[in-house]
């Protein structure tokens, strides 16, 4: 699976990008037909502590899955997005098995 990380308005650390790729590559154990993942990391200019936005678009045959989370840290947001995507991919796989 190819992972594209886009960070408008700032440069992401190499460690953060590696963490994202490692975390999202684990999704292939739940659903093996993932084509690519687009990750968007944004920082809002607000006084709130939860000003980091993580958006993950997962391209799979027939449909795209999008998850968006706001957190204090990008790592925390990636974890939450990955957990949410795991649940959605497991549901999708169960539905496919039910139709076979």
Question: What is the Cα–Cα distance from 96 to 19, expressed in whole angstroms?
Answer: 30
Query: What was the pLDDT predicted at 96?
Result: 80
Which ranges of 6-70 would DSSP assign to H, the alpha helix? 14-25
* Superfamily covering domain 2-99: Ribosome hibernation promotion factor-like (3.30.160.100)
Please, are residues 24 and 41 in contact by the beta-carbon 8 Å criterion?
no
Mean pLDDT by 10 residues, the chain (100 residues): 90 93 93 92 85 94 92 95 94 82
Structure tokens at 49: 């502590």
Q: Where are the domains of the chain?
A: 2-99
Tell me if the pTM is above 0.75: yes
The pLDDT score that the predictor gives to residue 50 is: 82
23, with CB counted inside 10 A (0-12, 13-18, 19+), is middle
Geometric angle at alpha carbon 31, from 66 and 78, rounded to 5°: 45
Residue 73 has a pLDDT of 93
Quick one: pLDDT at residue 12? 87
Q: What pLDDT score was predicted for residue 33? A: 87
């Amino acid at each position: 699976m190819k992972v594209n990380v886009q960070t408008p308005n700032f440069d992401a650390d190499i460690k953060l990008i590696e963490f994202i790729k490692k975390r999202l590559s684990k999704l292939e154990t739940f659903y093996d037909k993932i084509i690519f993942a687009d990750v968007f990391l944004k920082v809002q200019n607000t006084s709130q502590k939860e000003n980091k936005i993580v958006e993950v678009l997962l391209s799979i045959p027939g449909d795209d899955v999008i998850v968006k989370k706001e957190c204090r840290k990008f790592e925390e947001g990636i974890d939450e997005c990955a957990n949410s995507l795991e649940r959605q991919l497991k549901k999708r796989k169960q539905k496919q098995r039910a139709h076979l």
